């Protein structure tokens, strides 16, 4: 549940009391904390599901500790200047810590300066800022995953399918003709996933030929449009759709269905995220696999870090924290593994 207003609206009020002031008091035990979050786009499937998990962990933590945890989630609606203003509001409202899903991952300067001036720690997540920016103040953190890992796993899934199912090589030329559906330009997960998935297929002994690519910004509807165009251009030459995420893989499938192409003639479609809808498509055979982007693990890690920063500040007790970064591993899920797969949850938190 994400609100659009710039001024704080309580999206999730887990407690009855609002706090004043930022940061824990040494003299008095902390009774309530306030966490402000801004997401780049509330309609992004993966980020939305991560926020649902975050709220669930916050409720759980509140029950365990007896400390009231207020979580407020803002939607930056794709505007960095809106997000910068939201940070001002969160600070005015007394947030102890701020979690930022940057709109423009190359432009965190205003947020960092505002937070430092007010001594409010910032946890960036999912959209990775460059190392130099993360090093600009000692109260900046990042929670996410290693983009290249997901690319390698996606490439392995495609290579395994190509070796095991000869019908995927429709024209029997021994070459996997593919197209790529890419996420946003400049996002670490677009650039790196594409590069590593293709290189991994090659390393696994698959000859590949790129027919084309299109940018669909993580978005299912955009991917459907782009897939329609590529189907027009390349038709049944397409043997593989490498999508940078599940929503775009599903958009490609929407296009195949809308054009009444029988499932037996579809190209192999592979994605990343393991969202609920993505996993379902792997289970029902529409996708050959996906790579689980551990939204529960990332949400739990972010909550633990935010809670610690707002209470005793003893972040060294968080064992997954490496320097100022927490990265959760991806999990490869082939069609065979999808049925039995359950998300790892928040082990260790």
CB 30 to ligand GAL: min, Å? 31
Between 102 and 256, CB nearer to ligand GAL: 102
Between 83 and 293, CB nearer to ligand GAL: 293
CA distance 227 to 157: 21
Between 139 and 295, CB nearer to ligand GAL: 295
CB 289 to ligand GAL: min, Å? 15
Q: Which helix (H) or strand (E) holds 34?
A: strand 32-39
Tokens found for residue 64: 């365990």
Between 70 and 83, CB nearer to ligand GAL: 83
- Rounded to the nearest 10 degrees, the angle between the axes of helix 45-65 and helix 246-258 is 140
Between 124 and 141, CB nearer to ligand GAL: 124
Instruction: Please answer whether residues 249 and 274 qualify as being in contact, where contact means their C-beta atoms are separated by less than 8 angstroms.
Output: no
Tokens found for residue 179: 């197209």
CB 147 to ligand GAL: min, Å? 8
Cα dihedral 93, 95, 96, 100 in deg (nearest 10):
-150
CA distance 83 to 96: 17
Length of the chain: 349
Between 273 and 286, CB nearer to ligand GAL: 273
Where along the sequence are the contacts to ligand GAL (CB under 6 A)? 44, 46-47, 126-127, 189, 218, 245, 272-273, 293
CB 186 to ligand GAL: min, Å? 11
Burial of 321 (0-12, 13-18, 19+ CB in 10 A): middle
Query: Which SS3 state, helix, strand or coil, does residue 72 take?
Result: strand
CB 180 to ligand GAL: min, Å? 14
CB 218 to ligand GAL: min, Å? 4
CB 86 to ligand GAL: min, Å? 17
Strands 207-215 and 175-182, by their bridges, are parallel
- List the beta bridge partners of residue 326: 143
CB 52 to ligand GAL: min, Å? 13
CA 316 to chain centre: 25
Between 35 and 272, CB nearer to ligand GAL: 272
Between 96 and 126, CB nearer to ligand GAL: 126
Burial of 117 (0-12, 13-18, 19+ CB in 10 A): exposed
What is the side-by-side order of every strand in the sheet holding 207-215? 207-215, 175-182, 240-243, 268-270, 289-292, 331-334
């Amino acid at each position: 549940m994400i609100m659009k207003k710039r001024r704080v609206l309580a999206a999730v009020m887990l407690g009855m009391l609002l706090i004043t002031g930022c940061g824990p008091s040494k003299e008095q035990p902390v009774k309530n904390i306030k966490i402000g979050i801004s997401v780049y786009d509330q309609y992004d499937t993966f980020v939305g599901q991560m926020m649902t998990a975050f709220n669930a962990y916050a409720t759980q933590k509140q029950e365990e500790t007896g400390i009231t945890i207020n979580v407020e989630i803002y939607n930056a609606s794709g505007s960095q200047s809106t997000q910068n203003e939201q940070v001002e509001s969160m600070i005015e409202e007394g947030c102890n810590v701020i979690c930022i899903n940057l709109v423009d991952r190359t432009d965190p300067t205003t947020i960092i300066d505002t937070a430092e001036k007010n001594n409010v720690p910032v946890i960036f997540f999912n959209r990775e800022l460059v190392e130099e920016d993360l090093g600009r103040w000692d109260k900046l953190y990042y929670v996410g995953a290693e983009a290249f890992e997901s690319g390698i796993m996606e490439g392995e899934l495609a290579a395994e399918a190509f070796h095991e199912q000869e019908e995927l090589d429709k024209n029997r030329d021994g070459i996997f003709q593919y197209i790529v559906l890419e996420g946003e330009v400049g996002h670490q997960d677009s650039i790196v996933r594409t590069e590593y998935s293709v290189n991994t297929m090659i390393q696994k002994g698959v000859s590949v030929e790129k027919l084309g690519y299109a940018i669909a910004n993580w978005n299912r509807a955009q991917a459907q449009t782009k897939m329609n165009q590529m189907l027009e251009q390349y038709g049944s030459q397409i043997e593989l759709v490498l999508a940078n995420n599940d929503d775009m893989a599903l958009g490609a499938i929407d296009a195949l269905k809308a054009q009444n192409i029988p499932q037996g003639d579809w190209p192999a479609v592979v994605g990343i995220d393991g969202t609920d809808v993505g996993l379902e498509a792997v289970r029902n055979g529409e996708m050959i696999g996906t790579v689980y982007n551990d939204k529960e693990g990332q949400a739990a890690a972010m909550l633990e870090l935010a809670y610690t920063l707002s209470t005793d500040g003893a972040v060294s007790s968080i064992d997954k924290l490496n320097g100022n970064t927490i990265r959760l591993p991806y999990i490869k899920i082939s069609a065979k593994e999808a049925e039995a797969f359950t998300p790892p949850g928040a082990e260790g938190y």
